[in-house]
Amino acid sequence: MVLKVGIVAGEKSGDYLGAELIKAISARYPDAQFIGLAGPLMQQAGAKTLAEMDKISIMGIAGALKGLREILAIRRTIKREMLSWKPDVFIGIDVPDFNLGLELMLKQSGIPTVHYVSPTVWAWRGKRIKKIRKAVSLMLTLFPFEEQFYQAKGVRVKYVGHPLASPVLRWQVSDEVRAMLLPASQNEGQQPRRMVAVLPGSRMSEVSRLAPIMLAACEELADAFPDLDFVIPAANAKIADYLTNELSIGKTRVRLIDGHSRDALALCHVAVLASGTAALEAALFAKPMVVMYKVSKINEWYASRTMTVSHYSMPNHLVSPPIVPELIQDNATSGALVAQLTKLLTDDEHYQHVQATLATIAPSLSESSGELACNAIEALLNDRAAELNSNL
């Protein structure tokens, strides 16, 4: 039997999760076929993509409205391909505003649907649970508290852990990358310097809002702390071009590199980053951080009316009490960022406490994610086959 899998990811983090899942499924089903929307990692793992993944990587209401026509056209293309190809299962990875609508249409057509990475329905826009019940045959969650949430809501669910947790626990930075990221003085064993990893996001909308603030803070910190080095691992070429222009305006000692965000997190002393996947990754590496979140006024208005939690970043939902500083909207200023980073850079006791608390996260999320996901998907397909046979 050739297993046919429809699969859609829309962001860099989803591309990583999708690639790991494809590898796990392919190990069990060597002839499996994967078609959908895939980034470079998923394509390397064997997926065929029907469009450019980045086309649907848009943040917020304002961004979605601007690119709505192209997004809907891509979704129609994927829907037509899936209805024609008739995959055994369709897997939507994250990007719920894109995938849930697609999953609903496909499930209504008789195709089992899996959604990998729970929407933050437990935090905001809680009414989405009604659509999830209709659209999703199986929810795969990264965090154990999400499994409990969906069980209570009557949605078939399986907690599979975070696929990056186990690799982080054994992460090794190559000598070549280490030499690129760390200044020569540190490599030569002289007085150690401290690196600040700066990650303003993977979407141009968030980078354009946050990068100027972060760079202004870096400039001030560089004057106050001569032992600091600043590195920005650009998420893609478009963002690298934008940041190159921004760096030419200021006087900071910020170095821009191509990718290697996880290596930068592994080697840095502290991180400043956009709220999102990067915050979780920094937490998995047990790196004290400051999280920033700044969106358009319309998105801020909408979030304020639908949020049911008081914290934005995932690390603060995984430890108690919350420990990661969050600079949100009007509070996301260079002055506030300098103040928070200065505390981490000067108060060793506080730094060690934050680091020790964050160090509990990766072990708690370390699971055989690929195997667990494959088992859950197989169980779904077996139950569906049994149901179809009983109706014959």
Nearest residue to 330 (alpha-carbon basis) of 379, 294, 366, 279: 294
Statement: residue 215 has pLDDT above 50: yes
Q: What pLDDT does 301 receive?
A: 53
Q: Decide: 293 and 326 in contact? Cβ < 8 Å.
A: yes
Q: What pLDDT does 74 receive?
A: 93
**Number of other CB atoms surrounding residue 151 within 10 Å:** 13
**Average pLDDT along the chain:** 89
Cα–Cα distances in angstroms (integers) from residue 278 to residues 257, 261, 292, in the given order: 16, 9, 11
**Average pLDDT rounded to a whole number, residues 263-267:** 96
**Residues written for the chain:** 392
Identify the CATH class of 167-364. Answer: alpha beta
Residues 4-159: name the CATH superfamily: Glycogen Phosphorylase B; (3.40.50.2000)
**Average pLDDT rounded to a whole number, residues 118-142:** 90
Statement: residue 341 has pLDDT above 60: yes
Confidence of residue 288 (pLDDT cuts 50, 70, 90): very high
Statement: residue 307 has pLDDT above 90: no
**Average pLDDT rounded to a whole number, residues 345-351:** 97
Cα–Cα distances in angstroms (integers) from residue 197 to residues 169, 277, 313, 391, in the given order: 19, 15, 17, 57
The ranges assigned to domains in the chain are 4-159, 167-364
Residue 285 CB-density burial (10 A; 0-12 exposed, 13-18 middle, 19+ buried):
buried
- Comparing 25-29, 168-172, 300-304, 388-392, which segment has the lowest mean pLDDT? 300-304
**Average pLDDT rounded to a whole number, residues 95-99:** 91
DSSP 3-state of 215: helix
Statement: residue 252 has pLDDT above 70: no
Confidence of residue 62 (pLDDT cuts 50, 70, 90): very low
**Average pLDDT rounded to a whole number, residues 7-21:** 91
